[in-house]
Amino acid sequence: ASLLPHLDSLIPCDVEVDLRSEKLGLSGRLDRLAPACTPSLIRSGKAPEEGVWKRDRLVLAGYSLLLRELHGKDGAKVDRGLVEYPLSGQVRAVQIFSVDRARVLRIRDRVRLIRDGQLPDRPENARCEGCEAKEQCETRMSLASRFF
């Protein structure tokens, strides 16, 4: 099967796009930036039965935040992305919701706490029993974690 007849239908896109925002405190190298400012990830593993892996959804949400900032208020609305799973021969479209972007920012905040030497609050169901660092661990149960 020759690719030659299909070359006209190929759509050019940018690959390995470096994105950085000091304001957001996020950075990364996007695998592919498809037309209409659509972030696309290429994954080496197999696709899940349906949808995309949770991690891939969050990575796309992070890139959507970076692309929105890069293009400003009047820029493209980045509310969908693609995840390519070549081993499975699948390309999955992903709707990026505001809750996904908010989760990325919460994760960023937790990483900052850890980087600054603070441990985040532990959830009530933390597996502390049997942990060799239990005595040195200074995390505390948050008020919110007691309710959830």
pLDDT over 90 for what percent of the chain? 41
Assess if residue 146 is contained within a domain. no
Structural domain count, the chain:
1
Distances (CA, A) of 101 to 60, 61, 108, 113, 124: 9, 5, 11, 19, 25
Assess if residue 14 is contained within a domain. yes
Mean per-residue pLDDT over the chain, rounded = 81
Assess if residue 29 is contained within a domain. yes
Q: Which phi and psi (to 5°) does residue 44 adopt?
A: -85, -15
Those residues of the chain that have pLDDT short of 50 are 143-148
Q: Which phi and psi (to 5°) does residue 122 adopt?
A: -95, 145
How far, in Å, CA of 45 to CA of 84, rounded? 10
pLDDT of 137: 67
Assess if residue 130 is contained within a domain. no
CATH number of the domain where residue 85 is located: 3.90.320.10
Domain that holds residue 91: 10-117
Q: Which pTM does this prediction carry? A: 0.73
